[in-house]
Structure 1
Amino acid sequence: MKHLIKQQRAKQALKKVVNVAEKLRQSLDINRPLEEQLERIRSFLDRELQQDEYFLIVDETGRAIIHTNRLREGRVFSDEVGQKAAKTTKPLLQVYERDTGEVLIDASCPLLTDFNGKRFNLRLGRLMHRPYLQTYFLFLSIVPAMLSFLITLLFSLSPLWTCAATIIASLIMSTLFYRSLVNELRHWYGVTRSVSSGNLQTEVHTARKRNEFHQIAYEINKMIFGIRAMITELAKAAKTVNQVSEQQQLETKRLSESFDEIAAAMETFREGTKQQTASVEQANHLVIQMVERVQKMQEEVERVVSHAKTALTSMDEGNRLIEETKQKMDTMQQEINKTTALIHAASQEAANAQNMISAIRTITKQTNLLAINASIEASRAGEAGKGFAVVAQEVRKLAEDTNDFAAKILSSLQTMTNVLHNAVQAVQENEQQVEKTKHSLWKTGETFALFHQMFSELNALLQQNQIHVEAVTGNGRNLQHLIGDINVIATDFTNMVQETTAGLEQQTAAIHELAKEADVLLASVQQLQQIVNRFH
Structure 2
Amino acid sequence: MFRNMKILTKFQLLMFGTVIGLSAILIAVTFSEVRSGIESFAAEKAGSDLNLAYHYLDERFDGQWQIQNGELYKGDHRINEDYELADEIADMTGGLVTIFQGRQPVTTNLIINDERAVTVEAEGEVTELVLGEGEMYYGDADILGTELQTAYRPVFSADGEIVGMLFTAASQEVINSIMSEIITMIIIILAVILGLIAVLLIFFTRKIKSRIQMLQDSLHRAGQGDFRADSREETRNDEIGQISASFSKMKDNLSGLLQNVTFASEQLASSSEELTATSDQSAKAAEEVAQTIEDISKGASDQAADTEKGAEEVNDLGAIIEQDQAYVESLNGIAAEMAALKDKGMALAAELVEKTTANNNVTEDVHRIISETNENTEKIDSASGMIKSISEQTNLLALNASIEAARAGEAGKGFSVVAEEIRKLAEQSNKFSEEISGIIHTLGEKTDKAADKMEESKEMARIQSESVSHTTSTFKGVAEAIERMRATLKELSDSGVHLNGKKEEIIRVMENLSAISEENAASTQEISAAVEEQTASMEEIASSSETLAKLAEDLQENASKFQY
TM-score, with length taken from structure 1: 0.33
